[in-house]
Structures are given as structure tokens and as C-alpha cells.
Amino acid sequence: MKQFSITVYPGGKKITASEGDVLLRVLKKAGFPIPASCGGQGICGKCRVVVKGGVCHASPSPFLRKEEISQGYCLACLVLIEGDMEIEIPPESLAAALHTETSTADQATIVGYRPAGEKSGQSSDSKAPAFEFAQPAVTEPTASRRILFEEKPIIKDKLVLGKWEIETRTKRLHLRLHPPTLEDHRSDIERLRAELVSAGFSGDRMRCPLPVLKKLSKVLRAGLWQITVTLIELPDGVEILDIQPGDQTQHHLGLAIDVGTTTVVVYLVDLLTGQVIETAGGYNAQVRCGEDVISRIIYARTPEGLAELQQLVISTINELIEQILKATGLSARNIGCVVAAGNTTMIHLLLGLDPRYIREEPYIPTVSLVPPVKASELGLKVNENAYLYCLPAIASYVGGDITAGILTTGMHKEPQLTMFIDIGTNGEIVLGNADWLVAASCSAGPAFEGGEVLHGMRAAHGAIESVAIDRESLEPRLSVIGQVAPAGICGSGIIDTLAEMFLSGLLDRKGKICRDILHPRLREGEYGFEYVLAFAKDTAIGKDIVITEIDIDNILRAKGAVYAGCSTLLKQMGLGIEDIERFLIAGGFGRYLNIHNAVVIGLLPDLPYERFRYLGNSAVTGGHLALLSQRLWREAEQIARSTTYLELSTSASFMDEYVSALFLPHTDISLFPRVEPLLKSKRAEN
């Protein structure tokens, strides 16, 4: 097969590609950070490149404007290489990719788009600064409007397990063996077995893997017949995971891992005390192959794609483990057990299982309750004999991360009617109490994580995370993560923008931008009518950052799916919104969610604010609990078995609810008593 040279600017780096290769895959393989939220299907428009010269076949895309096409713009996923090429990665692609790889912990700043010292509505001097850093006072929430969730960790300095005691699967014992003599010539393994029987373990159901057996004699003698044995209790007996000389019982470690679609979080846990010793988190490297589970299932259709996805998530986890061990000075050898929580697709990809049938009707996974797996078989950098346990899934689209969330909240043991929701690309919803649990999943799509939005991005450095629009001047004030010029807008900012445009009279209830208002930020753009959040001179990408009517339609569909899922579950159980006593929100998206604005657009039901609570990362917390208590692990298994799953894709009532929810906030405004007076006030002002 012919080989060609690809020169990539800026920088002029040369890479090699074969005839017929897809440019996006070539660039990603070479390490170039190209955004591609759809996984290279040509439906997100993010992987923009400029072909400066050479031979290729570029398929057309509706995401490219005529002037961009004339300048050589293409989508890298739609370019087939046919010869030597010179390409440039433009600033907007570099900015989007780099910003999504930075920490989400950056401090946000409020940016008001008017010159310092100037009042709203006044004209600005062209030489005046484009924006000012607003005073901190404007960031303070008010009881009536700016209401944010405050994270309340389930586990802080000290673990509270209620009535459960720490009862880990792995045990560490310090044993003193009798040295052999001419009279006592038992083998080393028989000598060890006898001591373990004396300690209360069954010798007939004991296994010793070959790697442990190989070092047994040396370790016994190096420790002068005093050793530390690490055991794990399995359904069919006890297995010796490791032996070490001397007393090493103080180093008894485990890992709890949240294998998220977007991010991966790892807890290093002291199995003696239950304490979290250290944590680490980062973006799941699989995002380069697609930002949602459907994109990754499609990417995994080939053996090479599946292997790549598995390798990417394993490398992500290993990098986080290395960070933790470096920070603590502890050894991977002492990590004897790992518990992972993730949605069903992520667990399949972690294990290298083909996930294709999760996507195809009747949506059946390979496995819901995964048997224990040797971590070394996956390449995890822990003790070579440690086992990985995956929390059980409820259904193909309600995974072990939701089981972990239910376990964390205790809603399965409480009398109050609770609704639990994890808002993401695949919004999972659970309703119930101690008597019953029902669950469903609604495909919200990637809009809340920045996908399917022209200038959308994840909540990272440079993302607009909140928006307020002055009711008189219609000028926006933007909060940007990292105190930098904006590069795009993330989910919380998108929700704020819709709510603020709606309450300012810029949007009607169908989500259409008002054509009757004359304002420099309202205009007809390449993709239809749009509102300018930031002009090019003030952005990091050198282009205007806008919200288009197409973006708004995508967001309405996403919020409509979530609300319809909630209302369908309630109606299936003969209940109403008012019956919900607790509304729990999990996942990273909920952390900075403005409750008021989420209610205004009809994403969340109109409930008293005190009923809402943000849980933080309930998936890794549930994994932490299951790691420490075998009883809680069995409880998680019971949760997965006893929760009834409702398939919304075949439900006629769901479609009716969905269509009704495609308005701001809903076709039935009486469902939103807090929003109704705001609309009356807006009409009175107009």
C-alpha cells in the first residue's frame, strides 16, 4: 500500500499515512488533539482542518460555510488521503481540543461584555476594553434566581457505614510459621496451609497461584518464617494473592474507580480504616473516539477499534494510579482489590467485550453481573493477582454506576419517594423507595456536555459556565472557567443562556429567536438566526461565539427527553410531580447546575428548592462502599436484580410526554407554577 507524507501546521511536523486512510484517525494516532465528539461520523462538525495543498478526497459537510470551503476547510473525519498533503489545524480546533484536556477545577471569573465604568445600554468607544472583570458581588446567588447546588460529599474525613462494619473481600494476616526440622519435613505450602487453617480458613478450599508459589520458599526464609499473607474470599474458596516477609499488615489497599464516559475517577482506599488516602481524576482518553456511548459502540465495530478503546481506558486508569502512588509513596503491590462502577457500555469496553448488541434492538448486553476478573489480565497496574469487581448493571442503558448511586443514597431503604437522576448523554432516572424501584434511560444526547452545539465544549478551561442577560440592554455577562477569554460554552452555560434569553424576551416558548428586536447581538447567521455571546475580538478562538436556533432545538430535545423520562416514570406508577419528596442529582454536570434556570427551561420539575440535592460522584462513592463491605456488595447485587427497568423507546406515553416537553418550559405551563408569574411579568413589560 502506498505511503504518503502529511505535513501538519502549526509546527510543520511530518507524519506518515497510507492511501485511503481517514485523516482524523491519522492525526489522532500521531497525537494531535483534534476534537471529534461524534467519534468521526461527520455529524458534530468539530474536527475542522484546513487543507493547504496535496491530494485527497473530502466529502461535503453542512457544518462548513461557503467561505470556509473556499479557504480549504474540511472535516478531518470526511477526508480520505490519496497523496502527500499539507494541512493546518485552525485555532478553533486547537482551542477546543486543548481546553477539553485541562482541569475542570479552574476558577471561574465573571466577564461583563461592556466597557468598564459604562452603564448598560450606552454605546461603547471602539478603543475601550471589550470587557471587564466584574466585582465578586455579582457572583453571589440570590434566593429568587441564582440557586446553585452545593456539593455535599457522602464520605468526608471519616467513613460512616451505618450499621455495616468494614468487611472487605481481601484479608491481610501476619503469620508465624514453625520452621522445618528433620522431624517436621512438611512442604512450605503445607506449612502455610496449616497456619491458615489455624486462623479459621478452610484448607480444602484454598488456592495458591503459580506466581505466589514461585516465591514462597524465598519469602518464608527471608522473613525468618514470619510473613504477611494477602487472601481474597471467593465463592468457591480462598485464594492467596500475595506473600511478603515480615509484618506488612498496615499496608492493605484497594481501589474504587468510576469509569465514566467523559471522566475517570480513582480512589485509593485504606481497607483497614475505610479512609480515602488519595484521589485522582482525568478525562477518559476514549473521548478522542467519540464523546458518547453510541459513538464508541460504532467505533468498536472493528476488532482494532475495540482494542483501541480498551487500551485507552486502561491507560487512563493506569496513569491515575501512578499519580496516586507517586503522591503517597505507596506500592501497587499492596493494592489487592479493585471495584469499578460505570455504565454498561463503559464496562464492556473496559473488559474488551463487544458492545454492539447494546445498541441493537432488543438492546442486550453480553453481561450485567460481571464475574471477578484478574486485574493483570486487563493490564491494570496493581498487584498481579488482584481481582477486579464491576458493580452490576440494571439494564443495557442503566449501568453499575446507577446501582452504585442507589446504594450511596440509600433510597432503596428509605420510605420517602425519591427520584434519582444522572444527567449526561444518556440520562438515567430511578424512582422509588424502600418498597419498589423503577428505572429508565432517556437518550438526551451530548448537548448538555457541549456536543451538538456549534460552540459547545465540556466544562473546562475557557468554557462559559454561566450567563446572565441584562433585561434592558440585552447584553450578556459571562462567567468563564479559568479567568481567560472564552473558547466555547459548556452545559451549565447553555442552560443559563436559554433561560436568560427566554426571560429576557429573546426567545418564544417554541425556542425561536425573536425577529422583532433590533440589537447588534441578534442576527441572521450562516446556520440561521443567532445570539452573539462573545464577539471574535474577545474570544480565544478568533471567532464570534454564538447560540443558534439549531443549537436551541438540540437543547430543547435533550431537556425534553429528560423531563419526559421523569414524567413517564411517575405516570406509570400513578404518581405526580408533587409526590416527589427528594430529587437527587448525580454526576459532574449537576455540580454547577442553576436549579432555577433548569426549572425555567423545563429540564427539572418545578419543586421546592429544598427537595433538590446534588450528590457529587455517587458512582465512585458506591464503589467505595462496595469495596469495604461484602454485605453492601450483596446489597448492590440485590438492587440490580430487584429494580424494574422500563424501556422508554417503545413507550407511546413517553413520546407523548416528549412532544409536550419540547417547549419552554412545557406545553402545560400549570406544571411550572414558579415560572408562570415570570412569563406574565415578561408579557406585561412588553
Higher pLDDT, 379 or 35: 379
The per-residue pLDDT for 93 is 73
Cα–Cα dist 473/104, whole Å: 31
Does residue 54 sit in helix, strand or coil?
strand
Which pLDDT band, with edges at 50, 70 and 90, does 134 fall under? very low
Q: With left for phi above 0 and alpha for psi between -120 and 50, is residue 365 left, alpha or beta?
A: beta
Could you tell me how many helices (H) and strands (E) the chain has, helices first? Answer: 18, 29
Cβ density class 315-337: b for 16+ within 10 Å, e for less? ebbbbbbebbbeeeebebbbbbb
Residue from 96, 256, 83, 236 nearest 625 by CA: 256
The per-residue pLDDT for 206 is 87
Query: What average pLDDT does range 344-369 have in this prediction?
Result: 96
Cα–Cα dist 685/505, whole Å: 10
Cα–Cα dist 415/434, whole Å: 6
Cβ density class 368-406: b for 16+ within 10 Å, e for less? bebebbebbebebbbbbbbbbbbbbbbbbbbbbbbbbbb
pLDDT value at 301 more than 70: yes
Query: What average pLDDT does range 63-77 have in this prediction?
Result: 88
Calculate the CA 47 to chain-centre distance: 21
Among the residues of 52-178, which ranges form H helices? 66-70, 91-100
Cell numbers 484536556 label which residue?
Answer: 101
**Residues ≥6 apart with Cβ < 8 Å to 142:** none
The per-residue pLDDT for 444 is 80
Cα–Cα dist 553/601, whole Å: 12
Q: What is the CA radius of gyration of the chain?
A: 28
Q: For the beta carbon of residue 516, count every other beta carbon within 10 angstroms.
A: 7
- State the DSSP string of 212-259: HHHHHHHHHHHTTTEEEEEEEEETTEEEEEEEEES--TT--EEEEEEE
Burial of 119 (0-12, 13-18, 19+ CB in 10 A): exposed
Query: What average pLDDT does range 155-167 have in this prediction?
Result: 53
Q: With left for phi above 0 and alpha for psi between -120 and 50, is residue 402 left, alpha or beta?
A: alpha
Residue 7 cell numbers, joined: 505535513
pLDDT digits (tens, 9 = 90+) for 181-196: 999 989 999 999 999 9
Query: Measured between alpha carbons, how far is residue 457 from residues 100, 113, 300 in Å?
Result: 7, 21, 24
Cα–Cα dist 262/96, whole Å: 15
> Measured in Å, how far apart are the chain's first and last C-alpha atoms?
67
**Residues ≥6 apart with Cβ < 8 Å to 33:** 94, 97, 98, 101, 288
Query: Measured between alpha carbons, how far is residue 500 from residues 50, 245, 531 in Å?
Result: 36, 65, 12
**Residues ≥6 apart with Cβ < 8 Å to 676:** 669, 670
**Residues ≥6 apart with Cβ < 8 Å to 25:** 40
Query: What average pLDDT does range 449-461 have in this prediction?
Result: 84
Higher pLDDT, 116 or 415: 415
The per-residue pLDDT for 164 is 63
Cα–Cα dist 549/367, whole Å: 41
Burial of 416 (0-12, 13-18, 19+ CB in 10 A): exposed
pLDDT digits (tens, 9 = 90+) for 97-127: 554 444 333 333 334 333 233 333 333 333 3
Decide if 237 contacts 207 (C-beta within 8 A): yes
Angle at 677 between CA 112 and CA 657, to 5 degrees: 95
pLDDT value at 52 more than 50: yes
pLDDT digits (tens, 9 = 90+) for 457-471: 888 889 999 999 999
Angle between helix axes 652-660 and 549-572 (nearest 10 degrees) is 130
Cα–Cα dist 160/158, whole Å: 6
Which pLDDT band, with edges at 50, 70 and 90, does 204 fall under? confident
Cα–Cα dist 230/170, whole Å: 7
Pairs from 304-308 (Cβ < 8 Å, separation ≥ 24): 306/349, 306/352, 306/354, 307/352
Sequence ranges of the domains in the chain: 3-89, 170-245, 402-445+556-685, 447-552
Amino acid at residue number 221: R
Which pLDDT band, with edges at 50, 70 and 90, does 10 fall under? confident
The per-residue pLDDT for 351 is 98
Residue 194 cell numbers, joined: 496449616
pLDDT value at 95 more than 70: no
Which range has the worst mean pLDDT, 1-10, 45-54, 90-99, 150-159? 150-159
Backbone angles phi, psi at 586, to 5 degrees: -115, 170
What is the rounded (10 degree) CA torsion for 654, 368, 303, 374? 150
Q: For the beta carbon of residue 190, count every other beta carbon within 10 angstroms.
A: 10
pLDDT digits (tens, 9 = 90+) for 489-543: 999 999 999 999 999 999 999 999 999 999 999 999 988 999 999 999 999 999 9
Higher pLDDT, 616 or 623: 623
Query: What average pLDDT does range 249-256 have in this prediction?
Result: 94
Higher pLDDT, 604 or 447: 604
Cα–Cα dist 393/402, whole Å: 8
- State the DSSP string of 617-685: -HHHHHHHHHHHBHHHHHHHHHHHHHPEE--GGG-HHHHHHHHHTSSSS-S-GGG-TTTHHHHHHHHHH
Furthest C-alpha separation in the chain: 102
Cα–Cα dist 67/493, whole Å: 29
Among the residues of 300-385, which ranges form H helices? 303-328, 344-351, 356-359, 375-378
Q: What kind of architecture, by CATH, is found in domain 3-89? A: Roll (3.10)
Cα–Cα dist 125/121, whole Å: 13
- State the DSSP string of 58-70: E---TTS-HHHHH
Cell numbers 491458615 label which residue?
Answer: 196
Cα–Cα dist 571/577, whole Å: 9
Higher pLDDT, 45 or 628: 628
Mean pLDDT of the chain: 86
Decide if 564 contacts 654 (C-beta within 8 A): yes
pLDDT value at 152 more than 70: no
Q: For the beta carbon of residue 197, count every other beta carbon within 10 angstroms.
A: 13
Equal CATH topology for 3-89 and 170-245: yes
pLDDT value at 631 more than 70: yes
Calculate the CA 359 to chain-centre distance: 19
Q: Which helix (H) or strand (E) holds 491?
A: helix 491-503
The per-residue pLDDT for 684 is 54
Backbone angles phi, psi at 27, to 5 degrees: -65, -45
Task: Please determine, looking at this structure, whether the domain spanning 170-245 carries the CATH number 3.40.640.10.
Answer: no
